[in-house]
Amino acid sequence: MTKGKRVLLGVTGSIAAFKAAALTSALVKEGNQVKVVMTKEAAYFVTPLTFQTLSGNPVYREMFNSPENPINQTSPSGQEMEHISLADWPDIILVCPATAHIISRVAAGLADDLLSAIILTTRKPVIFVPAMNSGMWQNKILQKKTAELKRAGYRFIGPAKGWLACGEEGEGRMVEVEKILEEI
């Protein structure tokens, strides 16, 4: 497992977001600095306060600055550019859980929220940890986008086969925290 690193954790809207809280705790316990960026959908599953408490850092959710969302870097005009400062900060970006939505947006080059803008801006390694229904994971379009991202140098951990939140069994389950820690 990685130790003493700066990890930017991107959390997206999936029932598996609760596992990202456990991952945050494990990363911090091992001496890593963790900053969390949540999509608006992720906050339906786990609160930002959970990640703030576990990481010891503010949680970033908005593309543009707000009073509860401090940022470090400014443009020559004084406009703060959080997607730049957060893209430069980490040693690694881990998107966990990674939904079909975030994978497709990044593959299409869309930067319409803070997390996708950070991913498209960074020059640091990015790892996706997929979590979704097996039908979504096996969809030919998503598989094409995943293959494009892999060719572009993005890494993927999982998904695993097993029981899914939708009541089905199949491939699409987020891998366990221990496996993520081994892989990174």
Q: What is the mean pLDDT of each run of 10 residues along the chain (184 residues)?
A: 88 94 96 96 95 96 62 46 83 97 96 94 96 91 97 95 73 89 92
Task: Please tell me the pTM assigned to this model.
Answer: 0.88
Amino acid identity at 112: D
Q: What is the pLDDT of residue 1?
A: 55
Question: Encoding tokens for residue 148?
Answer: 């494009």
Question: Encoding tokens for residue 7?
Answer: 């990890």
74 DSSP β-pair partners: 80
**Could you tell me if 175 and 157 are in contact, meaning their C-beta atoms sit under 8 angstroms apart?**
yes
**Could you tell me if 146 and 184 are in contact, meaning their C-beta atoms sit under 8 angstroms apart?**
no
84-121 as b/e: b if 16+ CB within 10 A: bbbbebbebbbbbbbbbbbbbbbbeeebebbbbbbbeb
Q: What is the pLDDT of residue 71?
A: 47
Provide the residue ranges of all domains of the chain, joining segments of one domain with +.
6-67+80-183
Is CATH 3.30.70.60 the classification given to domain 6-67+80-183? no
Cis status of the peptide bond prior to 97, with omega within 30 of 0: yes
Element (DSSP H or E) covering residue 34: strand 33-38
Cα 91 from chain centre: 14
For 2, 58, 80, 123, the CA distances from 120, given in Å and listed in that order, are: 23, 22, 18, 8
Residue among 1, 26, 166, 181 flagged as catalytic: 166
User: How many angstroms separate the CA atoms of 165 and 57, rounded?
Assistant: 30
The CA-CA-CA angle for residues 71, 116, 146, to 5°, reads 150
Q: What is the pLDDT of residue 168?
A: 76
3 state DSSP class of 143: helix
**Cα first-last separation, the chain:** 6
Active site residue 96: no
Q: What is the pLDDT of residue 75?
A: 45
